[in-house]
Amino acid sequence: MRAGVLRSVWLVVGIASFLAGIVGLALPILPTVPFMILAAFAFARANRKWEAWLLAHPVFGPHIRAWRERGAISRYGKWAGVLMLAGSAGLGLWLLDGWWQWLPAGVAVISGTFILTRPTA
């Protein structure tokens, strides 16, 4: 793939991730910080100026830097993530039938374990 095309793909991924993160500010079901981390990752390959802006941002920057430097998640982020996962698992057990009802619980256990085993920022 040509470098210009690949750079354009990363730019689209970065913009889409950034917009999803912005939507996540209003919708509690959509996580903001992971999308901003992905946006910074993509912008590092497509637009260094936008990456620098995200890293310097007073709200998003510290979370992105903590993840990049130590793979760390804030204490609030850990608890918010685990609580949302638990809520999703509970809804799945309540609303779904058959073996489908266990799918959200399985995802919650796997994802929650990952979140809780990361260093705390």
Total Cβ atoms within 10 A of residue 116: 13
The model's pLDDT over 76-108, given as tens digits with 9 standing for 90+, comes to: 989 988 999 999 999 999 999 999 999 999 999
How many Å apart are CA 44 and CA 52, to the nearest integer? 8
pLDDT bin (cut points 50, 70, 90) of residue 42 is very high
Do 10 and 53 lie in one domain? The reply is: yes
**Full domain range(s) for residue 22:** 3-70
**Local structure of 120: helix, strand or coil:** strand
pTM: 0.81
The model's pLDDT over 5-32, given as tens digits with 9 standing for 90+, comes to: 899 999 999 999 999 999 988 887 778 8
Do 64 and 28 lie in one domain? The reply is: yes
Q: How many helices (H) and strands (E) does the chain have?
A: 6, 0
- Give how many domains the chain has, as a whole number: 2
pLDDT of residue 31: 83
Do 26 and 66 lie in one domain? The reply is: yes
Residue 1 confidence (pLDDT) above 70: no
Do 27 and 57 lie in one domain? The reply is: yes
Do 21 and 64 lie in one domain? The reply is: yes
